[in-house]
Amino acid sequence: MKIALVSLNQKWEDKVANLKRCRELAGRAKSLGAELVIFPEMTLTGFSMNTTSSEEDAENSPTIKAFSEMASLNQISVFAGVVLKLESKPSNVFITFSADGKEQTRYAKIHPFSFAKENEYFKSGSRLAKIAMSEFTFGLSICYDLRFPELYSALANDCDVLVNIANWPKRRVDHWRTLLKARAIENQTFVVGVNRIGMDGNSLEYEYSSLIVNANGEFLRPLYSEIEIDVYEINRQDLIDFRSSFSTRQDRQLNIYRDWI
């Protein structure tokens, strides 16, 4: 399966400009043979606490409509981030679309980033989310979730590919790469991390760091790279072969761990 990772240089709180660029990059991803294109967290705004500007009605979201049309027009599956008002407060949401433009699932970020006061503006999600696509099952997560291995262990029970969309600053990018690698090794899955580039409205700098790690903890090389987009290929047989040659998943003692948490 060919996957395009978009390291979007997000324009701060500018949905119009960001959507225009996403449309261009989705078309480019399709022309490069990708079956799936993945965009960073809060795709059209950047990691903003300005929920008055970013939040959208969960049942009538212009962003959802736009990404649905983007998927259908290009006949490519799309993963993206959006802020949706689901209850009393909005949630930071990871949303997926099939290649015919149909919405598949929504994941509300379980771990808001309290260091940046995200928890004061956004409601935490309360359920895991996965989606079957092609020969893989993808588990969904957002940015700060990456620091909580229990989430990934739970997802890995059913998932072959664990995806994290993020706005992860350059000053902590070593943590990003290390944790993505660790989640892959621990769970013997592919792990996909999609991070933005550029500078945000809080003067935080972001470094090119979108990547895919295989089940052995090795960083894959993209088939093709250009500004803001990398195309990778993952193969299910590689995952099966590795797990067959060196399997650790069967030795987990989840009931014991759960008693101590």
- Give the model confidence (pLDDT) of 177-235 as tens digits: 999 999 999 999 999 999 999 999 999 999 999 999 999 999 999 999 999 999 999 99
Degrees, nearest 5: CA angle 226-34-1? 120
With pLDDT > 70 as the criterion, what percentage of the chain qualifies?
A: 100
- The pLDDT assigned to 261 comes to 67
Give the SS3 label for residue 101. Answer: coil
Beta bridge partners of 195: 166
Give the SS3 label for residue 242. Answer: helix
User: How large is the angle between the packed helices 173-187 and 149-156, nearest 10 degrees?
Assistant: 40
Q: To which H or E segment does residue 240 belong?
A: helix 236-245
- The pLDDT assigned to 50 comes to 97
Here the tokens at position 248 are 């650790």
Dihedral pair phi/psi, residue 118, rounded to 5°: -60, -35
Q: What is the mean pLDDT of the chain?
A: 96
| Torsion on CA atoms 158, 161, 162, 166, rounded to nearest 10 | -150
Beta bridge partners of 90: 85
Mapping DSSP onto H, E and C, the string for 152-208 reads HHHHHCCCCEEEEEECCCHHHHHHHHHHHHHHHHHHCCEEEEEECEEECCCCCEECC
Residues 6+ apart with CB under 8 A from 144: 109, 111, 112, 113, 118
Q: What's 220's DSSP letter?
A: P
Interval 29-40: pLDDT, tens: 999 999 999 999
By the 10 Å C-beta count (0-12 exposed, 13-18 middle, 19+ buried), 23 is classed as middle
Interval 9-35: pLDDT, tens: 999 999 999 999 999 999 999 999 999
- The pLDDT assigned to 86 comes to 80
Here the tokens at position 221 are 């090389």
Interval 28-68: pLDDT, tens: 999 999 999 999 999 999 999 999 999 999 999 999 999 99
Give the SS3 label for residue 145. Answer: helix
Here the tokens at position 73 are 């027009």
Q: Map out the domains of the chain with their CATH numbers.
A: 2-260 (3.60.110.10)
